[in-house]
Amino acid sequence: MLTAAQMQSLAAFFREIPDPRRAQGRRHRLSTVLAIAAGAVLCGMRGYRAIADWAQGLGPKARERFGCRRQKGRYLVPSEAIIRNVLIRVEPTHLDRALRRWNELHAGEDASLAIDGKTRCNARDEQGHPTQVMSVVGHQTQICYTQKKWALYP
């Protein structure tokens, strides 16, 4: 669960990230889409569908805290397609930097960390090598502090 203050502050950490989308047709601020996606993942959601379902389940106060667009008296959340489009296009280093800054403010102290690596199925780099993802996760908080993509095979 995220507190109201954590929800509200999340979008602020994403405001400096350049928006990779075309200006035409933008219905939701980039910071709002990223904050909702991050909030959903922090609450245990995995995958675009789960993130979108979590967003649809947000109440009016939570939607307001995330900075959702208001239309006809209701706060609108981004759809699964918008969430997927944004997460695929946004620069991972910008996202990682913003999440680390937010985490430093809200996570508190963690006694121990775990480093874990996974090979992404059917994901290959430019040379055709399998893509690896390394993560650093806090044991007590279960928060992912950083995640880096790399190719294991030179």
- At 47-104, the pLDDT tens digits run 899 999 999 999 999 898 888 998 998 999 999 999 998 888 888 888 888 888 887 7
Question: Is the CB of residue 76 less than 8 Å from the CB of residue 64?
Answer: no
Measured at the CA of 56, the angle between CA 50 and CA 60, to 5 degrees, comes to 140
Q: What is the pLDDT of residue 76?
A: 93
What pTM did the predictor assign? 0.67
67 vs 117: which has the higher pLDDT: 67
- Higher-pLDDT residue of 71 and 105 is 71
pLDDT band at 154 (very low <50, low <70, confident <90, very high): very low
pLDDT tens per residue across span 2-44: 677 777 788 888 888 888 888 877 888 899 999 999 888 878 8
What's the pLDDT at 59? Answer: 92
Say what the pLDDT of residue 152 is.
47
Q: Between 88 and 109, name the one with better pLDDT.
A: 88
pLDDT value for 21: 85
More confident residue, 101 or 139: 101
Reference 62, options 132, 1, 139, 142; nearest CA is 1
Q: How far is CA 103 from CA 36, 109, 115, 124, 150, in A?
A: 15, 10, 17, 30, 23
